[in-house]
C-alpha cells in the first residue's frame, strides 16, 4: 500500500503518472486509487478519462505483472455516472464508506 509516481526527462515526449494510493492485493489484483475531493458527485469527462487511462498505461509499462490492474475512485460524495467512468472505474468509494 502506498503512492507511486513516474516522471520522465522534459526532453522526452513521454508523459508520467502519479498514483495517489495503490493496493497490491493478495487476490491477484492491483488497485490503483485516484483520490478527488469535490463538493458534489465527481464527474469524469473525456479528457480526464484519458488522464486515468494514461496512469494505467504508465503503471503497466513500469511494472511487468501478471496481476489484474483496476482503477478505483475515492471521492467525497461519489461518482457521477458517465460512459467514461463505466469504462475505466472498477469501483467508487466515498468518505462515508470509510468513516
For residue range 24-56, list pLDDT tens digits in order.
999 999 999 999 999 999 999 999 999 999 999
Which pLDDT value is given to residue 84?
93
CATH 1.10.287 for the 2-6+17-98 domain, yes or no: no
Edge-to-edge strands, sheet with 29-36? 2-6, 17-24, 29-36, 68-75, 89-94
Please, which pLDDT band fits residue 11 given cuts at 50, 70 and 90?
Answer: confident
- Is the model's pLDDT at 98 over the cut of 90? no
- Is the model's pLDDT at 13 over the cut of 80? no
- Is the model's pLDDT at 12 over the cut of 90? no
The arithmetic mean of pLDDT across residues 6-23, rounded, is 86
Amino acid at each position: 500500500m502506498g503512492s507511486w509516481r513516474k516522471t520522465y526527462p522534459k526532453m522526452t515526449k513521454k508523459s508520467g503518472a502519479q498514483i495517489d494510493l495503490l493496493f497490491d492485493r493478495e487476490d491477484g489484483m492491483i488497485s490503483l486509487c485516484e483520490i478527488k475531493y469535490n463538493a458534489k458527485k465527481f464527474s469524469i469527462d473525456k479528457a480526464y478519462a484519458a488522464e486515468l487511462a494514461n496512469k494505467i498505461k504508465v503503471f503497466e509499462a513500469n511494472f511487468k505483472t501478471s496481476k489484474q490492474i483496476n482503477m478505483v475512485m475515492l471521492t467525497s460524495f461519489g461518482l457521477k455516472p458517465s460512459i467514461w467512468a463505466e469504462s475505466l472505474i472498477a469501483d467508487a468509494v466515498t468518505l462515508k464508506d470509510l468513516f
